Amino acid sequence: MTAIKVPGSGRSVLGEGPSWSARENAVFWVDILGKRLNRLSLADGAVTGWDMPRNIGWVVERADRPGFIAGFDTGFVELDLDPFAIRPIADPEPDLPLNRMNDAKADPTGRIWAGTMPYSCEGDVGAFYRLDTDLSWTKVDAPYCIPNGPAIAADGRTMLHTDTARGTIYRYTIHDDGSLSPRTEFIRFEDDWGSPDGMTFDAEGCLWVGHWGTGQLSRFDPAGKRISFIAMPASQITSCTFAGPELDRMFVTSAADGRDDEPDAGALFEVEPGVKGLPTLPFRG
Length of the chain: 285
* Domains in the chain, CATH or no CATH each: 3-271 (2.120.10.30)
pLDDT digits (tens, 9 = 90+) for 24-50: 999 999 999 999 999 999 999 999 999
Q: Is 73 helix (H, G, I), strand (E, B) or coil?
A: coil
pTM surpassing 0.95?
yes
Q: How confident is the model at residue 2 (pLDDT cuts 50, 70, 90)?
A: confident
What is the model's pLDDT at position 248?
A: 98
User: Is 99 annotated as belonging to a binding site?
Assistant: no
Nearest to 159 by CA among 143, 133, 182, 125: 182
Catalytic status, residue 91: no
Span 66-107, pLDDT tens digits: 999 999 999 999 999 999 999 999 999 999 999 999 999 999
User: Taking the C-alpha atoms of 60, 65, 67 and 68 in order, what is their torsion angle to the nearest 10 degrees?
Assistant: -20
64 and 74 Cβ atoms separated by less than 8 Å: no
- pLDDT at 1 > cutoff 90: no
Q: Is 11 annotated as a binding residue?
A: no
Residue-wise pLDDT for 225-241, tens only, equals 999 999 999 999 999 99
AA letter at 11: R
Q: pLDDT value at position 197?
A: 98
Residue percentage of the chain with pLDDT more than 90: 99
pLDDT number for residue 12:
98
Question: 107, 141, 197, 202: which is the annotated catalytic residue?
Answer: 197
* Percentage of the chain modeled with pLDDT above 70: 100
| Side-chain-side CA neighbours of residue 158 (13 Å) | 14
CA atoms within 13 A on the CB side of 219: 21
Averaged over 167-194, what is the pLDDT? Answer: 97
Averaged pLDDT score across all residues of the chain: 97
pLDDT tens across 208-219, in order?
Answer: 999 999 999 999
Consult the annotation and say whether 148 binds a ligand.
Answer: yes
Q: Is 100 annotated as a binding residue?
A: yes
